[in-house]
Structure 1
């Protein structure tokens, strides 16, 4: 069994946030953070792949959710707005070892699978929306991917089902957390 690191998947999630912020720049909202500093906000639109990936990023300290006091929030839902706390370079060298567990890998890979589904056709990964590190740090390290050439990476749904979804279905609690089990 070969797995990408949780850290490599976290990097992909943050890369995606920056990619979407940049792509939507003329439509993005600028909102005050908890210190009244105005931030360019990422809006996940309650689309599960981005809702899940931003929850992972918040848990590891790479992003922060923007609480909007002027908008009545559902207490059972996080705000759909967040902003990055880390640059991609910071994320690349960050120590995420306290999150490197098989359950977190399954959670992150399930989330990444949703991102792939949102941005790709069939089982072919859309490399145009993945980071430049994806081939080396994720696809070549994980047996749910098959690299056909540097321009074509296939997602192996059968291997994903066998490895990730088998554990996913067994998990009593599907959350992303530190090895010690403590949530922020």
Structure 2
């Protein structure tokens, strides 16, 4: 079994946030953070692929949710880390198989949302690190050539969803010690 690191998937999630922010310009909302500083906001559109990835990013401290209303979850957030900072950050306290399964389940949603062809990863919306840090390290992603990476649903089902459905006690992304941020 070959698995990429949780850190590599976190990087892909943050890359996706920056990619979405850049693609949305000039229509992005600028909203005040907790200190009144205006931030260009990432809007997850209440779509599970971005809701889940932003929850992972918030847990590791890479983004922060902009609180619009005191008792409701907000669909807006802003990055706290640059991509360079994320690339070198120490996420070792999150490197567990359950977190890997959670992150891969989430990443599959992003792949499904952004790929035009079934079972093929749209490399145009993945980071430049994807081939080396994710695809070449994980047996879910057979690399056919530099321009074509597949997504093996059978392998994903076998290793990720088997864990997801049966012994995974809590389907949350958390530190090794179980403490929530």
With the length of structure 2 as denominator, give the TM-score of the two structures. Answer: 0.97
Q: Which SS does the other structure have where 2:111 is aligned?
A: helix
> Among residues 115, 124, 129, which one is paired with 2:125 in the alignment?
129
**1:8-19 mapped onto 2 (5 Å cutoff):** 8-19=8-19
- Whole-Å separation in 1 of the counterparts to 2:71 and 2:128: 37
Cα separation, 2, equivalents of 1:172 and 1:57: 21
Superposition deviation, residue 73 in structure 1: 5.0
Tell me the CA shift for residue 25 of structure 1: 1.1
Match of 2:142 among 143, 146, 165: 146
Q: Following TM superposition, where does structure 1 have runs of at least 4 consecutive aligned residues deviating by more than 4 angstroms?
A: none
How far does residue 172 in structure 1 lie from its aligned partner after superposition?
A: 2.1
2:88 to 93, 105, 111: 93
User: 2:48 & 2:143 partners in 1: Cα distance?
Assistant: 27
Counterpart secondary structure, 1:104:
helix
**Deviation readout 1:31-84 (Å, 9 max, x if unpaired):** 000000000000001000000000000000000000014xx753xxx2100000
Q: Which moved more, 1:1-10 or 1:164-173?
A: 164-173
Say whether residues 1:174 and 2:168 are aligned partners: no
Q: What TM-score, normalized to structure 1?
A: 0.96
CA distance in 1, matches of 2:164, 2:37: 39
**Deviation readout 1:100-150 (Å, 9 max, x if unpaired):** 000000000000000000001200100000000000000000000100000
**SS of 2:150's equivalent?**
strand
| Structure 2 unaligned blocks of 5 or more | none
Structure 1 unaligned blocks of 5 or more:
none
What does residue 81 of structure 1 align with? 76
Aligned-partner SS, 1:172: coil
